[in-house]
Amino acid sequence: MFMTKLVLVMVDALKPAMLERAVAEGRAPAFAEILRRGTYYPDCVSVFPSVTPAAAGSITTGTMPDVHGVPSICWYHRGEKRYVDYGSSGEAVRTFGVLRALTDTVYNMNFDHLQRRTLTVFEQLDDMGVRTACTPFLIFRGRTRHELGVQGWLRRVAQAANFRHPVYGPSELFYGELYSSQAVDCRPTLARPGTRDPYSGCVGAYVERHDLYDFMLFSLPDNDHHSHRFGPQATVESIARADHHLAELAEPAGGIERFLDDHAVVLMSDHAQVAVSKRVHLAAALSDWQVLQPNDPDADAAELAVAPGARSAMVYLTDPERFGARGMQRLLKQMRAIEGVEVLAWKEDGGACVWSAQGELRFRPGDTLRDRRGMGWDVEGELAALELETGDGIAVSRTYPDALRRVWSALSCGGAGDVLVSAAPGYEFTDWGGADHVGGGSHGSLRHGDSLATLAFVNCGPDVQPDGDWPAQWSITDVAPIVLSHFERR
C-alpha cells in the first residue's frame, strides 16, 4: 500500500502567538500553508519542567518524564553523587567540563538516562521496517549503529576531551560535527547557536532529494537561542529563518505546496518562552546548608544538591534518612521565603503536595476529580494553590495547564529532586556557570507562558480523522502515538 512520508517539524520554543504574528506579517509562508491546510492547536501543553531535554524525551517516546526518565536540563545523580547538566549554558559546560557535558548530553542522555524499556519512535519505526531520519535533536536513539566522525571546530574539542563513542540512532542520523550517516555537502554545526537551522535545512533537502526516509524528525533549534537572547517578542525574525529552512527541505519535492500535497507533516514545539528580568541564585539563598558544588571533591559532605533549570529548579536532600521529616520541613520553610519562588512541590505519604502563596494542596491518582485529559485525582486542601477551577467534576487551571498530571509525573521521575520549584513571572534561576537570560526570554516553569506549545497536523492524525477520539487537552506526549499510527495504517 502507498505510504505517505511523514515529517515531524520541531521548532524549539515556537510560541503560538509569535508563530501567528509571523504568519500574519507574511514572514513565514511555509508555516502559513501548514496552518491553512491543517488542524492547529495553539495550546498543546509541555511537561514540567518545561525544558528541552525532558520535553525531547516525551516527544520521541510519547511518555511523561516519570516513564522516560529524563527529569530536567540539570539534575543530581544520586548514584554517582554528581550533577548532570545537558548544556544549560556555555558557562555551565565549562564549569562541569567539556568531556562530562558532551558525554552526558550526547551519549548518557540517550543510552543511560533515557529508560531502555521505553522505546523511542525511531526504535519502534525501525522495528516496523520504516526508514527513519533525524537532524540534530537531543533524543535520537534508534537501531542503526553510527561511528563517531568528528569534523570542523568540534573535532578539536572532541579529540581534546577524548570523546570516542559510537551511537545507535535512526537509519539516517545527522548530528552536526559528530555523526553523519551520509557524506553531505552541508557545513556541520552543533555548538554554535544560530547556525544549526541552516545545517538542518541543507541535510533535510539532501535526504528528501535522495529519497532516504519515510519518517524524519526535522529539528530547527535556533529559535530557542534567539528567544533566550532577545526575548520571545523578538522571534518573528528567527521564525522567518526557520520557515526558510523548512522551505529548503520542501524544494526538491517542488516547493511547499507540492510537498504538502503528498507528505504528512506535524509542526510542533517543545515549549514556549516568557520574558525574564530578575535572577535568583538559589544555591546562595540556601547557603546555610552544605550545598554540593560542581565537581565537588568532597561530595559526601554535602547536605543539599541544587539543580537550577532556567525557570524551574530541583533541590535534593543528599541523605533524606539523615535529615528526616524535620529537615524537609526546615528546607520547605526556607524555600517559601525565597524571592522568585512561586510554586513548590514535593512527595509526602505517597501523595503529592503543592504550595503557593494561595495555600497548600495535596493530591494523588483517584476518582474525585478528572482533568481535561480524563485522568482521575483525589484532592485535599486549597485548589487555589494551583488556581484550579472545577465544574462538572473536571478540574482546570488556566494559569498552570495540565498541572496535576505534570507535577505528579515530575515528582515521580527517578532523577527528580525532593523539592521541585517553579519560578514566579519574570524570574529565572542562575545556572552553575553563573549564566542566565535576564533581559531576554526563558522557560521551565509550570506557567502557561512557558508551557503552551505549538501543534499542527497536515495529512495525519486529526487532519485525516477529524471525528477521532482526540484529547480535550493536547500534550506533546500525543505526537509519537500519532506518528506510529500513521505507519501502522499502511
What values do phi and psi take at 379, rounded to 5? -125, 150
Is residue 163 over pLDDT 80? no
Quick: pLDDT tens for 117-145. Answer: 999 999 999 999 999 999 999 999 999 99
- CA distance readout (Å), 304 to 199, 203, 287, 348, 387: 41, 44, 10, 18, 30
Which band of pLDDT confidence, cut at 50, 70 and 90, is reported for residue 395?
Answer: very high
User: What's the sign of the alpha-carbon dihedral 306, 307, 309, 310?
Assistant: positive
**Separation CA 68–CA 226 (nearest Å):** 28
Quick: pLDDT tens for 246-286. Answer: 999 999 999 999 999 999 999 999 999 999 999 999 999 99
Calculate mean pLDDT across residues 436-445. Answer: 98
What is the CATH code for 5-64+111-273+449-488? 3.40.720.10
pTM of the entire predicted model: 0.96
Which pLDDT does position 165 carry in this prediction? 81
Query: In this structure, are residues 480 and 121 in contact, taking their beta carbons and an 8 Å threshold?
Result: yes
Calculate mean pLDDT across residues 398-402. Answer: 98
Calculate mean pLDDT across residues 31-51. Answer: 98
Is residue 73 over pLDDT 70? yes
Which pLDDT does position 321 carry in this prediction? 86
Per-residue three-class SS string for the chain: CCCCEEEEEEECCCCHHHHHHHHHCCCCHHHHHHHHHCEEEEEEECCCCCCHHHHHHHHHHCCCHHHHCCCCCEEEECCCCEEEECCCCHHHHHHHCHHHHHHHHHHHHHHHHCCCCCCCHHHHHHHCCCCEEECCCCCCCCCEEECCCCCCHHHHHHHHHCCCCCEEECCEEEECCCEECCCCCCCCCCCCCCCHHHHHHHHHHHHHHCCCCCEEEEEECHHHHHHHHHCHHHCHHHHHHHHHHHHHHHHHHCCHHHHHHHEEEEEECCCCCEECCEEECHHHHCCCCCECCCCCCCHHHCCEEEEEECCEEEEEECCHHHHHHHHHHHHHHHHHCCCCEEEEEEEECCEEEEEECCEEEEEEEEEEEECCCCCEEEEEECHHHHCCEEECCEEECCCCCCHHHHHHHHHHCCCCCCEEEEECCCEEECCCCCCCCCCCEECCCCCHHHHEEEEEEECCHHHCCCCCCCCCCCEHHHHHHHHHHHHHCC
- CA distance readout (Å), 263 to 8, 11, 57, 337: 11, 18, 25, 53
Calculate mean pLDDT across residues 372-384. Answer: 97
Calculate mean pLDDT across residues 329-353. Answer: 97
Nearest to 96 by CA among 106, 107, 85, 105: 85
419-423/312-317 β-pairing: antiparallel
Which pLDDT does position 2 carry in this prediction? 45
Which pLDDT does position 159 carry in this prediction? 66
215-220/132-134 β-pairing: parallel
Q: Mean pLDDT over all residues of the chain? A: 95
Chain CA centroid to CA 347, Å = 23
Which pLDDT does position 1 carry in this prediction? 36
Is residue 431 over pLDDT 90? yes
Quick: pLDDT tens for 77-94. Answer: 999 999 999 999 999 999
What values do phi and psi take at 238, rounded to 5? -70, -30
Nearest to 14 by CA among 60, 52, 47: 52
Q: What percent of the chain stands above pLDDT 90?
A: 90
Q: What percent of the chain stands above pLDDT 70?
A: 96
Which pLDDT does position 160 carry in this prediction? 66
Calculate mean pLDDT across residues 284-307. Answer: 97
Calculate mean pLDDT across residues 95-99. Answer: 92
| Number of other CB atoms surrounding residue 490 within 10 Å | 11
Nearest to 428 by CA among 308, 310, 307: 310
183 CB burial (10 A radius; 0-12, 13-18, 19+): exposed
Calculate mean pLDDT across residues 106-127. Answer: 97
Cell reading at 489:
495504517
Query: In this structure, are residues 332 and 421 in contact, taking their beta carbons and an 8 Å threshold?
Result: no
Task: Please name the residues in contact with 181: beta carbons below 8 A apart, sequence gap of 6 or more.
Answer: 144, 146, 171, 172, 173, 174
The domain limits of the chain are: 5-64+111-273+449-488, 278-442
Region class of 439: left (phi > 0), else alpha (psi between -120 and 50), else beta: left
Query: In this structure, are residues 86 and 53 in contact, taking their beta carbons and an 8 Å threshold?
Result: yes
